[in-house]
Homo-oligomer: A and B are copies of this chain.
Amino acid sequence: MGKVLAMPFEGSIENLAATTAPQDVSLEDAATFDVLRKMREDILCCVLKPDQKLRFGELRQRYGTSVGTLREALSHLVSEGLARTEAGRGFQVAPISLADFLDLSELRVYLETRTLADAIRHGTDAWEAEIVSSYFLLNKLAPPRQDDPVSVKREWGKRHKRFHDSLVATCRSPWSLHFRSELFDQARRYHWLTMIHARSRRRNEHLDLRDAVLARNVDLACGLIEKHIRTTVQQAASEVPGLTLDMAKRKKA
């Protein structure tokens, strides 16, 4: 505006938008993002298994696209922590371990409670409506079991995520929401295994959560979600075969 002393970049500093947190790529509609979405879903549902090698030949056939496009999608998955790559030897699905699940769950407790508390304090009518609606849709589908077809599993996963997203939607911290979402997706992979092997059935924690949130009871809601997360970890540790703590070293070169 007025004469500003010489700037590192002239004028452009005034062209500022409000939010900088990473884009939610799921909202894009180009072909590249289609592939990305599909691959992400396949990893989260363990259709593509942990540690599995991702060869371009197979992927090209599976997703019907070119190498370049695949590469871009894989590149995205790497920065989300769902895949890994080593220069010259391609990509593979990110590994899983109990240690990892414990680590990410601890951080999740903080981010979920932080975003939920803020969301409740700034909730609107539209926010409440979306919670009611997304809970209704989630509740209509029974939690999937091992032998359900993949399409059912995917649909439940989608509704489950939508419900949890709706709870925190009015949180005003884009960065917190972004990291929360990333960790939520990570947890889905473990959640998945847990549900499939679960011996014990859990009561409807989503209903309790919904009511606590709609009642604007911050402490209760945060307590519920914290317990929800911690319980899942413990259940996974005790009921998922093969998921133990000391599984670090394997195949050394």
Contact = CB atoms under 8 A, between A and B. Distances in A.
A84 interface: yes
A18 B101 CA distance: 10
A110 interface: yes
Interface in A1-23: 4-9, 12-23
A191 to B, nearest CB: 12
Given A4-B242, A72-B72, 6 more contacts: A8-B193, A13-B50, A16-B51, A20-B186, A106-B173, A107-B179
A85 to B, nearest CB: 7
A218 interface: no
Nearest to A101: B20
Number of copies: 2
5 contacts: A13-B50, A13-B193, A18-B247, A76-B76, A103-B173
Nearest to A45: B8
A215 interface: no
Contacts of A16: 50-51, 95-97, 242-243, 247, 250
